[in-house]
Amino acid sequence: MTLVNILNQNNLNRQQRESILGWALILPAAAIILSLILYPILYNIYLSFFDVNLEGGNTYIGLDNYNNVLFDPTFWNSVLTTVIYVFFTTIGTTVFGLIVALAMNKEFPFRWLVRSLVLLPYVAPVISVVFAWKFIFDPVNGIFMDIAYEKLGIFSERFNMIGTPEYAVWVAILFSIWKGFPFAYLMILSRLQAIDATLYEAAEIDGANRWAKFKAITFPEVYFVIGSIVLLRIIWNFNKFDEIYLLTKNVKVLAVYTYFKAFTGAMEMGQGSALALVQFLLLIGFILFYVKKVLKW
């Protein structure tokens, strides 16, 4: 091994050796990440100024892609859908995750079993659970329509909820909450378990009720965990594709919109690149706002 030979040369001091070894060990990982994430980001910017042709060369068309994308009302519709989707899924997963974590932090029979069963939605592949959800909301066979129409009479007829855009987005949000809450629950639970029990005892001696204890002890302890969960959830769900696309083609969030633009029909990859860049800039703006205003870093 040449690396070992280099390291064994006597004219290097300990620090130099460590430095060479450090770089050598991280190099494969760094090279892969650099060439397959950072380079594509730059290449994406480049492509967004071209009419991209898969077979032959690309034609430079200046800002045309951006013009086409930004003055298209469907684009602004999908921005709106994305914001609604991200907003409600983030709140939903976090709040429900917190409730579940608080419940699982108490003693009850078969807690170990319940604790692992609750993780199933997070673990199972999207592709496998998505069909169960489609079946539940199926207009003919699904149990949802059976309850909502036959038993409760909320709707005047059986209809395809997932096929109707204004309802489909709520099904997609519910699905995402179901799929994502175990993550929030796990993170919050591990923080809850680290809270010193004597704090609660002291508060009880002072006569604090349950709500007062939650406000004064629990909430401050989990505040930062919740802050990071929300940040991660915003980033993930802003770019979410498979959970939405596989459930319904009718909820056109930005990721789905870009996919349709670039890989179906006329395969407008240049416009797709422009969209991806705009989406990325929106995400960065979102994050900066959140970090400044909410996390106050």
Return the residue of 66, 259, 260, 290 that touches another protein, per CB under 8 A. Answer: 259
Stretch of 77-85, 114-122, 164-172, 289-297 contacting another protein, by CB under 8 A: 114-122
Residue-wise DSSP of the chain:
-HHHHHHH-TTS-HHHHHHHHHHHHHHHHHHHHIIIIIHHHHHHHHHTTEE--SSS--EE-TTHHHHHHHT-HHHHHHHHHHHHHHHHHHHHHHHHHHHHHHHHTS--TTHHHHHHHTTHHHHS-HHHHHHHHHHHT-TTT-HHHIIIIIIS--SSS---TTTSHHHHHHHHHHHHHHHHHHHHHHHHHHHHTTS-HHHHHHHHHTT--HHHHIIIIIHHHHHHHHHHHHHHHHHHHHT--HHHHTT-SS---HHHHHHHHHHSTT--HHHHHHHHHHHHHHHHHHHHHHIIIII--
For residue 224, state whether it binds another protein (rule: CB under 8 A).
no
Q: Can you tell me which of 86, 129, 230, 251 binds another protein, judged by CB under 8 A?
A: 129
Nearer CB in complex with another protein: 22/163: 22
CB of 162 to another protein, least distance (A): 13
**Subset of residues 264 to 283 that bind another protein, contact rule: CB under 8 A:** 269, 272-273, 276, 279-280, 283
* 71 phi/psi in degrees, rounded to 5: -95, 15
Find out whether 203 and 193 touch, Cβ atoms under 8 Å: no
Q: Exactly one of 106, 153, 156, 198 binds another protein (CB under 8 A); which one?
A: 106
Least distance (Å) between residue 29 CB and another protein:
4
Q: Which of 2, 10, 13, 36 binds another protein (CB under 8 A)?
A: 36
Q: Is 153 in the site for another protein (CB under 8 A)?
A: no
What is the nearest approach in angstroms of another protein to the Cβ of residue 14?
Answer: 10
Residue 133 near another protein by CB under 8 A: yes
Stretch of residues binding another protein (CB under 8 A), selected from 72-80, 87-95, 159-167, 229-237? 229-237
Among 6, 74, 87, 131, binds another protein (CB under 8 A): 131
The alpha carbon torsion through 195, 201, 204, 205 (nearest 10 deg) reads: -140
Residue 202 near another protein by CB under 8 A = no
> Which of 2, 5, 13, 132 touches another protein by CB under 8 A?
132
**Near another protein in 164-193, by CB under 8 A:** 178, 182-183, 186-187, 189-191
Which listed residue (143, 202, 288, 291) binds another protein by CB under 8 A?
143
For position 260 contacting another protein by CB under 8 A, the verdict is no
Minimum Å gap between C-beta 32 and another protein is 6
Is-contact 170 83, C-beta < 8 A? no
**76 part of the interface to another protein, by CB under 8 A:** no
What is the spatial distance between Cα 18 and Cα 15, in angstroms, rounded to a whole number? 5
The pair of structure tokens assigned to 217 is 């002890």
Give me the least distance between CB of 164 and another protein, in Å please: 19
Rule CB under 8 A: say whether 244 interacts with another protein.
no
Interaction of residue 157 with another protein, rule CB under 8 A: no
| Comparison of 85 and 133: residue with beta carbon closer to another protein | 133
